[in-house]
Amino acid sequence: MKILFIGDIVGKSGRWTVEEFLPKMKETHRPDLVIANAENLSHGNGFSPKGIAEMRRAGVNFFTTGDHAWGNRDGMNELGKKDFPVIRPANFPNEKTPGNGYEIFQTDLLDKVLVINLIGRVFMKKHYDCPFKAVDKILQETANEDLAAIFVDFHAEATSEKYAMGFYLDGRVSAVIGTHTHVPTADLRILEGGTAFMADVGMTGSLDSVIGVNKDIIINSFLTQLPVKHQIETNGQMVFNAVIVEIDDKTQKALTVSHLQEIF
C-alpha cells in the first residue's frame, strides 16, 4: 500500500498549494491514504472545521497536528468527535486534553492503518510527557489489530530527538516522518529494520517567506528584537512538500520512500 504525507500546511497559501498539486500527485502516485499536518492550516495557527473540509475536498483523508493544535477554538472543539479526521499529539500530559493521539484509519480497500501523532520535548515551550513511553503504550494497546501499516508524525524541533525516535521505532512501525521546522531535511531513507525516516518533510505554502510568514515582518523582528504579529505570506512562489511511502501490508515494512517537492 502507499501513504502520501503532506508537511505542515501553512495558512491560505498552503491550502491553495494543496488544491493545486494534490490532485496531480494522487493521479501520478495512486496513494491509498493521504495524511497532512494541519496545525498551521488556519492563518498559521490551528485549524478550523471549514479548513479541514476544504482540504478533504482537495483529497486529504486524515490529519495530524502539533503544538498549535489549540490555535483555533472552533477546530479544537471538534477534536475527538466521531468522523472528525484530526488527531493531536498523544503525549499531552493530561488525560482530559481534547481529542485522541492516534487513530486506526480504514482505507477504501479496507486496509487498516494506525496513524500516531507525537510531539517532541527538546526546545519546546510546554512540558509534554515522554513521547517514547507514549508510543510504546499505543503500540501495546493496538498489538492485536490487523494493521497494514503504522505511520508516525513526530512533531519536534530537534533533529537529534527525531533521529532517536526513528531508531527507537525502527522495525516496529512503517514510517517516522518529522514535522514542525517547516524546512525539508536531506536525510530521507529506510532504516535497517524497515522503517522509512525523514527528520522533517518541510512545509506546504509560501516559499518566499520565513517558514510561511511575511519575510519583512520577521526580519524587522530580528533587527529590533520587538514582538510582531505574524502575517502569512500569500504572494510569490509556493512550495508543496510531501513524502510517498510504499509499504508491504503483510510485514508493515517500508519498501520505497520518496520526497516530493513542487514549486510554482
Determine whether 68 is an active site residue: yes
Report CA-CA distances (Å) from 119 to 84, 108, 125: 21, 29, 11
Residues whose CB falls within 8 Å of the CB of residue 239, separated by 6 or more in sequence, listed in order: 17, 202, 203, 204, 205, 206, 207, 261, 262, 263
| Marked catalytic residue, from 29, 43, 68, 182 | 68
DSSP label at 69?
T
Beta carbons of 232 and 44 less than 8 angstroms apart: yes
Beta carbons of 212 and 40 less than 8 angstroms apart: yes
Catalytic residue set: 68
